[in-house]
Amino acid sequence: MIRVRGTGPDLVMIHGWGMHAGAWAALADELSERHTLHLVDLPGHGADGRNAPWTLGGFADEVLNATPVADWLGWSLGGQVALAAAARAPGQVRRLALIGTNPRFVVAPDWPHAMPSRAFDAFRQACVDDGGRILERFIGLQAMGAADPAATLRDLRRMLDGAPEPGHAALVAGLDILETADLRDRLPSLRMPALWIGGTADRVSPAAASQAAAALMPNGRYRPVEDAGHAPFVRHAAAVHALLDVFLAEGRPQELE
């Protein structure tokens, strides 16, 4: 399901694992003043209860088929969906803005900027055993390391309100994507401008992953958000919006500014 609001150049926005389009509340009001937002609920998440293909390619195709040529903004798993879409249909993705995104979410011998395999396996098993509590555990992990963890936790909990929680199968499928996806080899061929934003206190997807991934892209750049965790746009919305505003305005005719 995709909700459209605002006016101006098109911007597709894709939430992270276990979340929904309401995750963008801290950014959407300001962004909608200068952009037509396409706020995505991935299948099985938020208001979209469909049992559509829960694969990275399936998610990418779902959004590509329902949106025009646009800039894309993805957070975490949503960033992986945006990268997959850019690789499948580069002519449809003008720019990529990626927040808390890791092209490979789990560590590898040549990729230390990721979650240790043992920690990820334990988290996935906890989701399989008790999906009802795993979202609360996950938002607690996102708040860790942030400058104001209590406020961040409160805002993340509020973020989950207002929409149904994703089903257990969708949660497990999302973790399977994060465990197996490795998009690093696609990055050098993606020539569109790309902005990688990383919270320096992110305990889920280290900022070093965003910095290293940006360096693999011909037109990639990395920008940190100091003292922010995995969802820097929650408590550092002004800083994230400022980065996005500059990036999304680049190369546009003056009358669109």
Q: Which residues are documented as binding site for substrate?
A: 17, 76-77, 138-142, 230
Range 242-254 burial, b when 16+ CB lie within 10 A, else e: ebbeebbeeeeee
Beta sheet of 194-199, edge-to-edge order: 2-6, 36-40, 10-14, 70-75, 93-99, 194-199, 220-225
Q: Which residues are documented as binding site?
A: 17, 76-77, 138-142, 230
- Identified catalytic residue from 35, 202, 205, 210: 202
- Identified catalytic residue from 76, 155, 205, 210: 76
How far apart are alpha carbons 74 and 197 in whole angstroms?
A: 10
Q: What is the pTM of this model?
A: 0.90
Say whether 76 is catalytic.
yes
Beta bridge partners of 13: 39, 73
Q: HSE of 16 in the Cβ direction (CA atoms, 13 Å)?
A: 24
How far apart are alpha carbons 240 and 218 in whole angstroms?
A: 23
Beta bridge partners of 93: 70
CA 93 to chain centre: 15
pLDDT (tens, 9 = 90+) of the chain, 257 residues, equals: 899 999 999 999 999 988 889 889 889 999 999 999 999 999 877 676 677 667 999 999 999 999 999 999 999 999 999 999 999 999 999 999 999 999 999 999 999 999 999 988 988 888 888 756 776 667 666 666 666 777 777 777 776 666 677 778 888 888 999 999 999 999 999 999 999 999 999 988 999 999 999 999 999 999 999 989 888 998 899 999 999 999 999 866 443 33
φ and ψ at residue 11, rounded to 5 degrees = -135, 115
Say whether 121 is catalytic.
no
How far apart are alpha carbons 176 and 131 in whole angstroms?
A: 14
pLDDT value of residue 256: 37
How far apart are alpha carbons 89 and 211 in whole angstroms?
A: 24
Domain ranges of the chain: 2-256
> Which CATH architecture fits 2-256?
3-Layer(aba) Sandwich (3.40)
